[in-house]
Amino acid sequence: MGIIRSSFSFMTGTLFGIYIAQNYNVPNIKKLANTGLLFMKHIEETYRKPKKKDDEN
């Protein structure tokens, strides 16, 4: 009985997700995450403290 219940909820969630993705404007999560990472790298490079000359070696 446990496998039937878990597979039913999984299938219901999958079908609901497919319906939402086809009928509504859902953002592309992978593209959004990559944009966020690029923005954070830019912020880090902009505000990073400069290296001291004594610490290079």
Whole-number pLDDT of residue 52 = 77
With beta carbons less than 8 A apart as the criterion, state whether 20 and 26 touch: yes
Q: Is the pTM of this model over 0.75?
A: no
The per-residue pLDDT for range 1-19, each reduced to its tens digit, is 678 877 998 999 999 999 9
Over residues 17-28, the mean pLDDT reads 90
- Between 38 and 28, name the one with better pLDDT: 38
What radius of gyration do the chain's Cα atoms show?
23
pLDDT over 70 (residue 38): yes
Whole-number pLDDT of residue 43 = 93
Grouping H, G, I as helix, E, B as strand and the rest as coil, residue 25 is coil
